[in-house]
Amino acid sequence: MSRLFGTDGVRGRANADLTPDLALRLNIAAARVLGATDRRAVAVIGRDPRASGEMLAAASAAGLAAAGVKVIDLGILPTPAVAHLTALTGADFGVMVSASHNPMPDNGIKFFAAGGRKLPDEVEDAIEAAMGDPAPLPQGDGVGRIVRSVDPVESYIEHLVAAVPHPLNGLKVVLDPANGAATGAAPEALRRAGAEVVLINADPDGLNINENCGSTHMDGLRAAVVEHGAHAGIALDGDADRCLAVDADGNDVDGDAIMAILAIAMREAGQLRGDTLVTTVMSNLGLHQAMGTAGIKLEVTGVGDRYVLERLAEGGYSLGGEQSGHIIVSDHATTGDGTLTAILLLARMAATGRSLADLASVFTPAPQVLVNVRVTDKSVIDHADVRSAVALWQSKLGADGRVLLRPSGTEPLVRVMVEASEEPVAQTVAAELVAVVEHAMG
């Protein structure tokens, strides 16, 4: 039987793979593992605006209460806000119902341990095992209650504004919150920090989250930045745990470039502990080169911000993230926070008086091609022909390139990534590898 948890919680098509029944049973199990105290456990729960979140959050809260947990319903909030409020309220754990950047028909459930930190693999495994526990549920006054939190959005906004290192006065920013969970919090936080904000894709109706907008569809943001003469554009995803940017000319500034900018800024301020940036195997070779030039060390983890978080904690480091825009600044957050990232990036612009394009010029990406191959079985990457092709091309590219195949943790995809000194070479190698994967599937 395949593992229920992926790289970021439990995710699937709502009402097909991820049903209210599964949400109920999953949360009963989570309560037994994460709420094992000698008193009544407390959990906070939030969700993004997608329509299926209403039923899945209700089922999740019901499961927690059925297991005897007091549930604080936060309503619609970004994932990093749920993590923050898990810590702020002293809750035993937190629950977020969201499929992040995935399209609307999908949904997911992720958990935070006490303090707002993501769960290690062994705790997720314990939750899965507990789903088969036949122990009776509490009755009478042992049943948990569900209460609504009072203005959790304001608490989160205050947290963000407190992290602003330099006022954003004078900056005009186009913000695309992807019709998602940060539609209310993100623009308000940026405005309180001093920025002039132009909002697009900020009318969530439960069905339009991530639809041709946000960090996965940035054409509209690029056009809006140029149209409004903005200094920068910010794209969040549906649950606002990632941030990508656009410079004044409409050029993309991805997570690698953002990390390079923040790493240098934090080092200058004496805030980059160990002079080290933590990133994943997906980060571009150009980031390695840029950090080497800046005298900043790079530590590399597997794909997933949870693994970046683990290395940050183990090494006592202060900055890490992913090319996709999950950026973790551990002095201010326990998980990726797109709005916080935007604030820190814009503050660097305001403090230096430099354009985003100028700041991003420290990072020159090597040509990279990323192809998503839809598969029926993600273990195809272990097929002998696939492994042989990967080894062959890595040998041919040598130190001037890189090949990486990995299964998506959230979708039925194999991601084929190739870097080379020239883009046509990367395109050719990627096409060859895609063909091998498709042939291996039969």
- 8 Å CB contact between 80 and 340: yes
Q: What tokens were used for 202?
A: 């900020």
**What is the full DSSP assignment across 66-123?**
HTT-EEEEEEE--HHHHHHHHHHTT-SEEEEE--TTS-TTEEEEEEEETTTEEPPHHH
Residue 408 among the catalytic residues: no
For strand 117-118 and strand 106-113, is the pairing parallel, antiparallel, or unpaired?
antiparallel
Sign of the Cα torsion 354, 355, 358, 363 reads positive
CA angle centred on 23, ends 47 and 118, rounded to 5°? 60
Name, in order, each residue with C-beta under 8 angstroms of 137's C-beta and a sequence gap of 6 or more: 28, 66, 67, 68
Catalytic residue among 52, 60, 98, 100: 100
User: At 272, which amino acid appears?
Assistant: L
Q: 209: helix, coil or strand? A: coil
- 8 Å CB contact between 426 and 396: no
Q: Which residues are catalytic?
A: 100
